[in-house]
Amino acid sequence: MEVNQTMIKTNMKFLTKTPTRVFTSLFFAAALTACGGSSETITDPIDPEPATPGTTIEDEFGLWLTDLANNHVLPSYQNLQASSTALSSQTSEFCAKASNNNDELVVLQQSWRAVVASWQTIAWLKVGPIINDNRIFRLHYWPDSKDNVGRGVANLLASSEEINEAFIAKQSVGSQGLPALELLLFPEENQDNLLNASDKDKRCQVLTAISANVATISAAVNSEWQIAGGNYHAQLTQGTGDFSSKKDAVEELVTNWLEQIERVKDEKMLVPLSVASPGIPTIAEHVLSDESVTSLQNNIATFKVIYSAGGGHGFDNILIDHLSQQNIATEMLTAIDGSITAANELTGNYETLLKTAEGRAQITTTIDALRALRDVLTVDFVQATDINIGFNSNDGD
């Protein structure tokens, strides 16, 4: 069993904003060997000097940062704000009606799904505005081993106070975000359904307040990234502010990428898979809404966007054109595509996948594909680019 320490170590990371990178790529290679990773992936140190004169590796990193920000980061946060705003508006309209039908509830649920899809494409990024004011956990508090979301929502429903957005923003993080909305929109018991719950008015009050809170947080993060707003875009692309250089910014983002690979592999698949059928579906992400599979597929699809800078000046360009490392570029792309293909083979209900032999085999195949990607990223890729990955917040296998 792989031991996951994401929540603890990520919290420490957020407190320091720009953590010291304490492990080099060679340390990662040794760690992988000690933990069972294949030593065959370890190669001799690769000369990072540019093959093409006229540009430096810092210039190349700047191009990747700029295209990643323009093609992926800014549009993702814009989508998150737009979908969150739509959900908040639709929630208010739904709850303003004396009664609703099932079709109207489904529309509201689909609106929530749209926010989740927007979030899952950018959830890997843990720098800048999203980590300020604990926003990342206020938007999406998961995993939740102590049922903070369930207890938080129960306390809100039992409260005699008027629940509004300002009230929600002062509550525990488990009460504020997408998992709390999921609990209200997809309750385990039919008697708690928004169409027939005896406390529908209170549930609507809480639902409306949390939706507004999510929209406000999303809007703030988006505004602080925009060039016409807080312009965190400039800090990232120029390697200033929170970063000491463009290389430092790249190292931070690649560390975020690695952490997301481990998070998807461990928390979203390995832990729910457990040691035997039927697994532990109750601890899977978004199990109530049955968005578990879609969410992890969205996460993994984003890995190719990160690598290619959303179709711009990607790491493939740097490896091939600047460093003459075609083989490593091929390794990376093959590993990324392999993980996407494996994830896309996961279809249907996650609980069914966890308990059937075929489903468990498919999940295991996806886990193995992510391990393969992790191994190439932490050894050959970091040697070729001469970057240091920060302390991995997932200890892994």
Give residue-wise pLDDT tens across range 138-185: 999 999 999 999 999 999 999 999 999 999 999 999 999 999 999 999
Give residue-wise pLDDT tens across range 338-355: 999 999 999 999 999 999
Higher pLDDT, residue 25 or 232: 232
> Among residues 204, 212, 198, which one has the least CA distance to residue 184?
204
The mean per-residue pLDDT over the stretch 229-237 comes to 97
Helix axes 246-263, 6-16, angle to 10 degrees: 160
φ, ψ of residue 229 in degrees (nearest 5): -110, -120
Q: How confident is the model at residue 300, as a pLDDT? A: 98
Q: Classify domain 69-225 by CATH number.
A: 1.20.1420.20
Look at 10-24, 44-58, 131-145 and tell me which has the smallest mean pLDDT.
10-24
User: Are the CB atoms for 333 and 307 separated by under 8 Å?
Assistant: yes
The mean per-residue pLDDT over the stretch 279-289 comes to 96
Q: What is the pTM of this model?
A: 0.86
Q: How confident is the model at residue 55, as a pLDDT? A: 87
Statement: residue 373 has pLDDT above 90: yes
Distance CA(285)–CA(272), nearest Å, equals 9
Q: Supply the mean pLDDT for the chain.
A: 88
User: Are the CB atoms for 195 and 102 separated by under 8 Å?
Assistant: yes
> Among residues 111, 284, 122, 105, which one has the least CA distance to residue 193?
105
DSSP label of 96 = H
Q: What percent of the chain has pLDDT over 90?
A: 84
Q: How confident is the model at residue 240, as a pLDDT? A: 98
> Among residues 203, 233, 65, 76, which one has the least CA distance to residue 139?
76
φ, ψ of residue 394 in degrees (nearest 5): -125, 120
φ, ψ of residue 3 in degrees (nearest 5): -90, 125
Distance CA(335)–CA(257), nearest Å, equals 14
Statement: residue 53 has pLDDT above 90: no
User: Are the CB atoms for 380 and 328 separated by under 8 Å?
Assistant: yes
Look at 3-7, 265-269, 315-319 and tell me which has the smallest mean pLDDT.
3-7
Look at 28-42, 192-206, 242-256 and tell me which has the smallest mean pLDDT.
28-42
Residue ranges of the chain that CATH labels 1.20.1420.20: 69-225
User: Are the CB atoms for 185 and 108 separated by under 8 Å?
Assistant: yes
Residue 54 banded pLDDT, cuts 50, 70, 90: low
Distance CA(287)–CA(73), nearest Å, equals 27
Q: Tell me the two tokens of residue 73.
A: 């980061």
Residue 68 banded pLDDT, cuts 50, 70, 90: very high
Distance CA(273)–CA(77), nearest Å, equals 31
Q: Tell me the two tokens of residue 274.
A: 């457990």
What is the end-to-end Cα distance of the chain in Å, rounded?
Answer: 8
Helical ranges in the chain per DSSP H: 6-16, 25-34, 57-68, 74-96, 102-122, 135-139, 148-158, 165-168, 178-185, 200-225, 232-238, 246-263, 271-273, 292-308, 315-317, 326-344, 350-355, 357-376, 382-385
CB contact burial 126-147 (16+ within 10 A = b; e otherwise): bbbbbbeeebbbbbbbbbbeee
> Among residues 334, 317, 325, 310, which one has the least CA distance to residue 381?
325
DSSP secondary structure string, 260-313? HHHHIIIIIIIHHH-SSTT--GGGSTTTTTT-HHHHHHHHHHHHHHHHHTTTSS
Which residue's entry shows tokens 């308990």?
355
Give residue-wise pLDDT tens across range 240-257: 999 999 999 999 999 999
Statement: residue 86 has pLDDT above 70: yes
User: Are the CB atoms for 4 and 266 separated by under 8 Å?
Assistant: yes
Let me know the angle formed at the C-alpha of 120 by 286 and 303, rounded to the nearest 5 degrees. Answer: 125
Q: What percent of the chain has pLDDT over 70?
A: 85
